[in-house]
Structure 1
Amino acid sequence: MALYNRVDGRLLKEKMRSTLEKRVTISFYKYHHITNPQEFRDQLYREFDALGVLGRIYIATEGVNAQISVPEHNFNTFKTRLYSVDWLNNVRLNIAVDDNGKSFFKLKILVRKKIVADGLDDSSFDVTDSGTHVDAATFNKLAEDPNTIIIDMRNHYESEVGHFKGAICPDVDTFREELQVAEDLMRDQKDKNLLMYCTGGIRCEKASAWMKHIGFKNVFQLNGGIIKYAQEVKDQGIENKFIGKNFVFDERLGERITEDIIAVCHQCGKPCDDHTNCKNDGCHLLFIQCTECAEKYNNCCSDACKDILELPEEQQRELRKGINKGRQVFKKGRSEHIRSHES
């Protein structure tokens, strides 16, 4: 069997959006030494593809990092298969908080050097000596301690739409930058409680180990990240200190945690926290856009991209030939075309 899905992504997206199949969106990760990542990758692809699993999985010699969706009727079989791998037995599965089953449209499993790009030399410290994992109730208690500093270990566009009350949200584009900011910020406060959080916990796993390695005394991390926290506060009926949306790296681009809207449309300034990607295939800028601006700009980030979208497809392809945009993210003052309401 083919170990890659070669079907046109646009067709797969349309199929995903139109299906009535119920799916469960989950994420999981595990740091573990994998001797042959490619062999493990191929084995996982065969088993997951047969179960109808969709999503994105990164595998490296240091472990696995997965964000996927599973057909509801195959969920128990999926868990049995996953847990049959000895080092993944009973690994925590973070189940999405606000899930419409439309999170992924194809299965993509990639072998990488690292499961999270952090810029660290893992041989220089013990990556398994991570911070103290805390649940929602303990997180809330620590958050109320004046000796605690809360740091959001995510990128600026994630914290822009949702974050914990009182958290420091660095204006950074990458996790690598985030680590340096956290280190600089806490340099003279090593006796404070350092309380870290991220989406599902994987970034804090490495970050907390690094902060302990460089001398920080009291390092804590939110177990299961924002996803697990949201479920625990709901189940336990305790105060929810997170406000807004939790940004997610799939087709949903966010899951609603509270009804608070703390961000604004990047084009008109109206309260809005709906991320989208510019419809122009030569741009795909990630930005926040309200429904009115989506209609005005035809789901594009600017008049320039709107004009390109109106050209024949052949001409559009010619314009973007040889251009690899990568992941482009809006940031005030950085975008080439979009002009925010504050510009």
Structure 2
Amino acid sequence: MPVLHNRISNEELKARMLAESEPRITISFYKYFTIDDPKATRDALYQALTALKVFGRVYLAHEGINAQISVPQSRVESLRQTLYGFHPALDGLRLNIALDDDGKSFWVLRMKVRERIVADGIEDPNFDPSNVGEYLTADGVNAMLDDPDALFIDMRNHYEYEVGHFERALEIPADTFREQLPKAVEMMEPHREKKIVMYCTGGIRCEKASAWMRHNGFKQVYHIEGGIIEYARRAREQGLPVRFVGKNFVFDERLGERITEDVIAHCHQCGTPCDSHTNCKNDGCHLLFIQCPRCAEQYQGCCSELCRDELQLSPEEQRQRRAKRENGMKIFNKSRGRLNTLTGIPDPD
């Protein structure tokens, strides 16, 4: 039986990736389709992608596949053909090519079987995820943004919305996608006659969200084909005005793709304009937050004085201190107006 997981340390794998001479391309893709045996599919696909030197994260479930990966530049076409031929449902699969990419987004291939490729909390047996809203391409998105009868709904988390979003898009104030779905229905209830446009990073969340809205009786539901990534790419290629403002948060080492030069967020420590996410250098915290260069120097890459001071302790002292507290949220979260219990950083007004 072949080895279907890595046995080399992350440090060595990252060093190997950084030493590569050939550029890598960061790609994301997803597809909702029925997978009868996700584990067997995972194992077969793992071997196929490993042969192409693919790195990244791939999740499989009975409902489909979701992936964020990187591949050597010379093997992009081989990857495309491998996926097209792997399963009939993947033939013609759209690959979202990263916009602001240095190719250093991943250094290992991790593939996991999950209950859902997007945790949605939906238990209604009558829900049909294939009954999605109407796709919008870049020109259609811009037209909708000029339509007073259209509402744009951002189906991403607060930390994503905070650094960039479409003009006049509404944020759903919830911490998770499973909480956003019923909240979106509730918020849009007074606007059933409106056109509802849903969007997310690469399309996977807003596609399911559009099906959920239709399941709940909304008629004029749209979602952006390929999400923000594909919209920005097509708008630039076609010479259209780019109506997404700021940075697009991405879930890899980059933590963001620059769409426009606008900086609409602020440092979570001093309030200066900034949209650079980072993780707290204290491994006992690892909070995701926005930090400007001045605060990064002052706090040594940490989110608070507490974490900065803890980082200077011996490993044993750090373990003792962490054992005495609960490990709270891993992101700076504004949607519920709460103080982060680990760092003591309050939410800004």
Q: Is the 8 A contact 1:130 1:205 kept in 2?
A: yes
Amino acid at match of 1:32: F
Shift of residue 287, structure 1, vs aligned partner: 0.3
Counterpart position of 2:43: 42
Quote the Cα distance in structure 2 between the aligned partners of 1:81 and 1:268: 48
Quote the Cα distance in structure 2 between the aligned partners of 1:20 and 1:298: 32
Counterpart position of 2:5: 4
Unaligned runs of 5+ in 1: none
Query: Higher mean Cα deviation, 169-178 or 145-154?
Result: 169-178
Shift of residue 89, structure 1, vs aligned partner: 1.0
Query: Higher mean Cα deviation, 171-180 or 215-224?
Result: 171-180
Query: Higher mean Cα deviation, 109-118 or 83-92?
Result: 83-92
- TM normalised by structure 2 equals 0.93
Q: How does 1:158-307 map to 2 (within 5 A)?
A: 158-307=160-309
Q: How does 1:321-340 map to 2 (within 5 A)?
A: 325=327, 328-332=330-334, 333-336=338-341, 337-339=343-345
Tell me the secondary structure at the aligned position of residue 299 of structure 1: coil
Counterpart position of 1:106: 108
Counterpart position of 1:145: 147
Quote the Cα distance in structure 2 between the aligned partners of 1:6 and 1:124: 43
Identity %: 53
Tell me the secondary structure at the aligned position of residue 153 of structure 2: strand
Quote the Cα distance in structure 1 between the aligned partners of 2:326 and 2:50: 29
Counterpart position of 1:84: 85
Change (3 A) 1:326 1:105: farther
Change (3 A) 1:192 1:205: same
- TM normalised by structure 1 equals 0.95
Tell me the matched-pair count: 343
Q: Is the 8 A contact 1:269 1:340 kept in 2?
A: no
Query: Higher mean Cα deviation, 4-13 or 219-228?
Result: 4-13
Tell me the secondary structure at the aligned position of residue 123 of structure 1: coil
Shift of residue 78, structure 1, vs aligned partner: 1.4
Quote the Cα distance in structure 1 between the aligned partners of 2:52 and 2:282: 34
Q: Is the 8 A contact 2:339 2:345 kept in 1?
A: no
Query: Higher mean Cα deviation, 303-312 or 255-264?
Result: 303-312
Unaligned runs of 5+ in 2: none
CA deviation digits over 1:263-309, x for unaligned, max 9? 01101111110001111111110000111111111111111111121
Change (3 A) 1:115 1:89: same
Counterpart position of 2:136: 134
Change (3 A) 1:148 1:267: same
Tell me the secondary structure at the aligned position of residue 184 of structure 1: helix
Tell me the secondary structure at the aligned position of residue 191 of structure 2: coil
Shift of residue 125, structure 1, vs aligned partner: 1.8
Q: Is the 8 A contact 1:97 1:227 kept in 2?
A: yes
Q: Is the 8 A contact 1:269 1:341 kept in 2?
A: no
Shift of residue 122, structure 1, vs aligned partner: 5.7
Query: Higher mean Cα deviation, 44-53 or 324-333?
Result: 324-333
Shift of residue 15, structure 1, vs aligned partner: 4.0
